[in-house]
Amino acid sequence: MLFSDFAEYLKRLEVTSSRLEITSILTDLFDRTSSDEIQKVTYLSLGVLAPNYEGILLNLAEKMMIRTIAIAYNLKTEDVIKLYKKEGDLGPVAEKLAQNTNNLKKLTVNDVYEKLKIIAKDGGGGSQDRKIELMADLLKQLDSLSVRFVARIPMGKLRLGFSEKTIIDALARHNTLKQKEIEESYNIRPDIGYVAFLVKENKLKEVKPKVGVPVVPMLAQRLNSTSEMIKKMGEVAVEPKFDGLRIFIHYKKSTSSRGGVDFIKIFTRNLNSLDENIFPELKGVGKYIKADEIILDTEAVGIDPKREMFLDFQKTISRRRKHEVEKTSGEVPLQFQVFDLLLVDGESLINVPYVNRRKKLEKVIINSGLLRVDESIVTKDPDLIKKLHLKYLEMGLEGVVVKRANGKYVSGRTGWNWVKMKEEEGKSGRLSDTLDCIVMGYWSGKGKRAQFGLGKILVGIKDGEKIRTLTKVGTGLTEEMLGTIKRRIDKLESRNKPKEYEAQKDLIPDVWATPSLIVEVTADSISKSTKHSLGLSLRFPRFLRIRNDKGPSEATTLKELNDLFSIQ
C-alpha cells in the first residue's frame, strides 16, 4: 500500500468521532492491507513503531521537529515557529509547506516505517543531528497530506481518538472472528501489530506466552462478603495480600557451554520494561529456579532488616526513584512474593486451573530470602476466609486475596477469578476502595499555591474508549507533590483537549494533559452529579499518591465506579 493511500485513511479517521465509524474505516483499511504490511499499518495508525515495552521511540521533541521542518523546506526556524504559533499543530504547518515540494517519491507504508525505525534506533554521539537530517529527508519525499501525519508521529501527537481496543473490534469484523477471542490473544501477547498479523494469517490459536514479552496481568475484583465470594467462586485458595510492587520476572537460563549470562527481563503491571539494574538482587535469581525458562507473577516487597517486617508501598517503590540503587538495595532489600506461574520450559499454563499452577510453582521455586512462595489455603468456608483476613491484617499486610481454585489465568479484571477483600464503607469515613484516576489537566494555583503554578488537578476515569471527568483534587497535595505533578504534567501538556476526553464547559482546566499520569484518590463518598460527564463525582476527594506502576489502561472504569456506588 502506498503511504499516500494510507494517509487518506488517517485523514478520514482524524475527522471522525463516532467509534462505530472509526471501526468501519479501520476494517476497510485492514481489508486492503496485505499480510506483510499489516503490522506496520497497525502500529502507524496508533502513531507508534512497536509495542511500548520494546522502547523503540523516535524521541524528536517539538523543538527538534521545528528544526526538521525548517531544513526540509529551506526555511529559518523562526519562520516555522511563527506558523506554529498560528496553527498550534506542527502537522498542518508541515503540510502547508510541503505543497510546493517537487522531489516526491511513491513510498509504501513499509518504506516509511523502515525509515522511521532507522531514525528511532540511531543513537550515540551526534545522533540528534542525524535524526533531524534523516527525518527532513523523509518529509521531502512525501506528499503534503502524508507529511501532516508523519510530522506528528515523532512527538507522539498523532492521536486519532482510538486505541488497541478499537483495532481489535475492526480485526474481528475483518476476519469474522469473535472480539473476545482476539482480545484474549492480545492479553497473552500484547503486541497489536503481531496479533493483527496472526488474524490476517488465520493463526490466532498459535498465541502463547513468550519469555521477554509481557502478559497483561490478572487483576482482582472487590467483594466485602466472604459468603458472597464462596457463592460466586466455589472452592477458593486464600492467600496473603502484600503491599508491594507488582513485578513479572522473565527468566531464561543461558545455553552457552561456557557459562554465558542468563536472560532476565522485568516488567511492571502496566507492561513497562524495567532496567534489571533497578533490582540487582535478581541477577542471581537462577539459583532459586528449577527450570530453564519461566515467567513468574510476583509482588516485590521491601523488607526492614532491623525489625524483620515488611515495608509499605511508598518505601518499596522508592527503589525505582533512587539513583544509587546498589546502596538503596542494602537499605531497602526486596523479597519477591511469587504467587503465579504463566510459562515453564515452553509450556503455557494460562489455561491450567489455579491449584495446578500453584503445585507446579511450588516444585520449580526454591524458597529463599529472594523468592518466596507463601501459604495458600484451599477452602469453601467463609468464616475461615474472615479469620485469615484478620490474621494477615494483624501481620501488617493488606488482608487476603481469594482465588477461584479451578480458575484459569484471565487477564484483566474479568469474572470472579481473583477477589480482594475490602473493609465495609464507612468504617474509616472513606470509600471502601481507592480510585486510580487519569490526570486530565490542572488549574493554576491561587494564594499560597500560586508559587507552584498549580492549585488543583482535574482527574477522570475510563468509560470505554472515552475518559470522562470525575472530580477536581487539591486536598492532600503537599508542596513537594505540587511541584512534582506540575513538572510531570508540563511534559504531557496538550494545546487542545485530547480527542478521547469529555468535559463540560465549566470544567475546562488551564492546562490539558495527554492521558499518561495516574494518581490514587480517595473520598468520603460517591455522589450523583450533573456537573461531571460521568453523572457521578466524589465528595471530599483527597489525593493519596502518584501510581508510577500503573498506566491509563489500568485506570478505574465507570463500571467499577458504579460498583462502588452500589456498595455504598
Q: Which residues are catalytic?
A: 241
Cα(367)–Cα(373) distance, integer angstroms: 6
The C-alpha cell of 467 is what?
475518559
CA 134 to chain centre: 30
Indicate the SS3 state at residue 23: helix
By the 8 A CB rule, do 435 and 543 touch? no
Helix (H) or strand (E) holding 133: helix 127-140
Measured in residues, the chain has a length of 568
Cα(116)–Cα(384) distance, integer angstroms: 58
CB atoms within 10 A of CB 518: 23
Q: Exposure of 566 by Cβ count < 10 A (0-12 exposed, 13-18 middle, 19+ buried)?
A: exposed
With a CB cutoff of 8 Å and minimum separation 6, the contacts of 321 are: none
By the 8 A CB rule, do 295 and 215 touch? yes
Cα(337)–Cα(353) distance, integer angstroms: 20
Hey, which residues does 146 pair with through a beta bridge?
none
CB atoms within 10 A of CB 142: 26
Phi and psi at 289, nearest 5°, equal -125, 120
Cα(265)–Cα(287) distance, integer angstroms: 16
By the 8 A CB rule, do 200 and 175 touch? yes
Indicate the SS3 state at residue 43: helix
Cα(294)–Cα(287) distance, integer angstroms: 13
Helix, strand, coil percentages in the chain from 3-state DSSP, rounded to 5? 40, 20, 35
**Sign, Cα dihedral of 397, 399, 405, 411:** negative
Pairing of strands 245-252, 418-421: unpaired
